[in-house]
Chains A and B, each alone.
Chain A
Amino acid sequence: MEDEFVLVIPASLSFSKRPLEQILEQLALAINSTKPVVALDFTKTTFVYGELSSLISSMISIFFDDGKKVRFRGMNRNVEEYFRKNGLLASLGIGLTGVDRFHTVIHHYRIKSDDKNSIRAYVENEIMNNISNLMTFDPESNDAINLQLSKIKPAIFEVVDNSKSHANSEYVYLSGQYYPKQKRVTIMIANTGNTIPGNISNKTDEIFDSSAEYINWATTLGNTTADTDTLKRGLGLYDIKSNLFETGEFGIVSGHGFWKMTSTGSIITEDLDAPFPGTLIHLTFLLKDNPLLKNIENKGYTNNDDDLSF
């Protein structure tokens, strides 16, 4: 079709630099294209990590906001079935949400970033209930797992507040997937607002060579611009990073920056050839035994009140 911009989705859609870059290079071209229709071509796609639905949905919103129409093309049965089960297609008015017999799908939702009650309902009903119903862990691991689960809701609210307060994004796009064999739950929260590198560059004197370094700066404790207004900002990303250190994974794409903390605590910083016009936050909580979770004193989670003085 001559009036279509065809955006080819990679064979495997995951939170890795290469597939993200493949999509974002085409996204930039599609945004600048005068063609009124964008066709998302899934012909080559055989596997989609469910949480990446947030990326697909946020891209579609960008196209809609630009007055473009969006079509799906070449979606194989498995991928289509998945997008039915997680509600992505239904959210676009295409059919009804399908049944997830295994209860491992965490539905996709677009929620207003200031709608605390809907965010809470999403976390409690879509994430926590599903996982709790499926968990059959060694009782000795329960305390560790419960501690890990208790981090999910605050982490999501931190990200949502960042989306509202710093990115000025009206909506957040949430999707996830519970991976029982790998004993992990992964959630992606996307927004299409101001990017982290852009915000730091505009609001501070910090200058870095790469976008990824701006993100790294934003996840580091103790950075300041010698401005007391900064007391109102920051810490959310550092808090998530510290809570997921060696107990999960934490990834951020914002503008051209790609930043990731692996499950061993290593930090990867790379710049992408094309930007995402917003921020993607990728959170993985490992739901298995871990000395860092079992011996919570090691993480500073003590009951000592002495240090609660100013």
Chain B
Amino acid sequence: MILKITEAINSDLAVSSDDAVVVENLLLKKIEEKEQVTLDFTGIDTLTTAFLNVAIGTLYARFDPTTLNAYIKIDGKTLTALQRDKVRLVMENAKTKLSNEELDNDED
């Protein structure tokens, strides 16, 4: 299925962590149901890391990248260059944080 972010949050401002929870829950549900989802950002006027941290970043805490790639695709054509940069930043940051956490757990 295609998940249009504007429809999911009923706004073209993807800027708050509160709105992002809606997307996060939808994605978690789809993964649990083993259904593939393509995220479509068409029409999003403003996108922030505050939104992406919750909508996408938190998924790394629940599933490994292989599982996430199997079920979730981000349609890069629907993002502006600046927005694409933010998505990449959030993904890299989430991976780094979880890697650090694993390292810390190994040390404990």
B21-64 vs A, Cβ < 8 Å mask (1 yes, 0 no): 00000000000000000000000011111100110011111000
Complex formed: what's the CA distance from A157 to B72 in Å? Answer: 26
Q: Does A302 contact B (CB under 8 A)?
A: yes
| B82 & A308 in contact (Cβ 8 Å cutoff) | no
Give the Cβ gap from A245 to chain B, nearest Cβ, in Å: 13
Which residue of B15, B58, B82 is within 8 Å of A231 (Cβ)? B58
Q: Kindly list chain B residues whose C-beta atoms are within 8 Å of the C-beta of A230.
A: 97
> How near does chain B come to A16, taking the closest CB pair, in angstroms?
29
Q: In the complex the two chains form, is B50's CB within 8 Å of A308's CB?
A: no
A48: Cβ under 8 A from any B Cβ: no
Q: Using a CB-CB cutoff of 8 Å, which residues 82-96 of chain B contact chain A?
A: 82, 84-91, 93-94, 96
Residues of A within 8 A of B45 (CB): 120, 153
Alpha-carbon gap, A232 to B74, bound state (A):
19
CA distance A221 to B96 in the complex (A): 10
The answer to whether A301 touches B104 (Cβ under 8 A) is: no
Known: A157-B50, A226-B100. A231 touches B60 (CB 8 A): yes
Query: Is A134 interfacial (CB-CB < 8 Å)?
Result: no
Q: Is B3 an interface residue (CB 8 A)?
A: no
CB pair B93–A157 under 8 Å, yes or no, is no
A231-B58, A231-B60, A236-B50 known; A157 vs B74 contact (CB < 8 Å): no
Q: Say yes or no: is A303 at the interface (Cβ < 8 Å to chain B).
A: yes
Is A264's CB within 8 Å of the partner chain B? no
Instruction: Please name the residue on chain A nearest to B79 by beta carbon.
Output: A308
**Beta-carbon contact of A231 and B48 below 8 Å:** no
Q: Are A150 and B88 in contact (CB-based, < 8 A)?
A: no
Task: Tell whether A300 pairs with B48 under 8 Å between CB atoms, given A116-B11, A232-B57.
Answer: no
CB–CB A301/B81 < 8 A: yes
Inside 8 A of A160's CB, which chain B residues have their CB? 15
Instruction: Name the distance in Å between B99's Cβ and chain A's nearest Cβ.
Output: 9
Nearest CB of B to A163, in Å: 11
Assess the A232–B58 pair: CB atoms within 8 A: yes
CB nearest neighbor in B for A151: B82
Flag if B82 contacts A147 (CB, 8 Å): yes
Instruction: Report yes or no: A235 in contact with B49, Cβ–Cβ below 8 A.
Output: yes
Contact B15 A308 (CB under 8 A): no
Contact status A157-B46, CB under 8 Å: yes
A88–B94 Cα gap in the complex (Å)?
A: 41
Q: Is the CB of B100 within 8 A of A224?
A: yes
Q: How close is B47's CB to chain A, nearest CB, in angstroms?
A: 7
A228 to B72, CA, bound (A): 20
Closest chain A residue to B71, Cβ basis: A310
Question: How long is the Cα–Cα vector from A232 to B62 in the complex, in angstroms?
Answer: 13
Q: Decide: A232 and B17 in contact? CB cutoff 8 A.
A: yes
A227, chain B: closest CB distance, angstroms:
8
Taking the complex as formed, is A239 at the interface, i.e. its CB lies under 8 A from any CB of chain B? yes
Instruction: State which of B48, B54, B68, B90 has its C-beta within 8 Å of the C-beta of A154.
Output: B48
**Is B98 positioned at the interface, with any CB of A under 8 Å from its CB?**
yes
Q: Sample 20 A-B pairs with CB under 8 A, ordered by A number.
A: A116-B13, A116-B16, A150-B82, A154-B47, A154-B48, A157-B50, A158-B48, A164-B16, A222-B97, A224-B97, A226-B100, A230-B97, A232-B57, A232-B58, A233-B53, A239-B48, A296-B81, A305-B84, A310-B59, A310-B60
Chain B residues packing against A (C-beta within 8 Å): 11, 13, 15-18, 45-50, 53-54, 57-61, 65, 68-69, 72, 74, 76-77, 80-82, 84-91, 93-94, 96-98, 100-101, 104-105
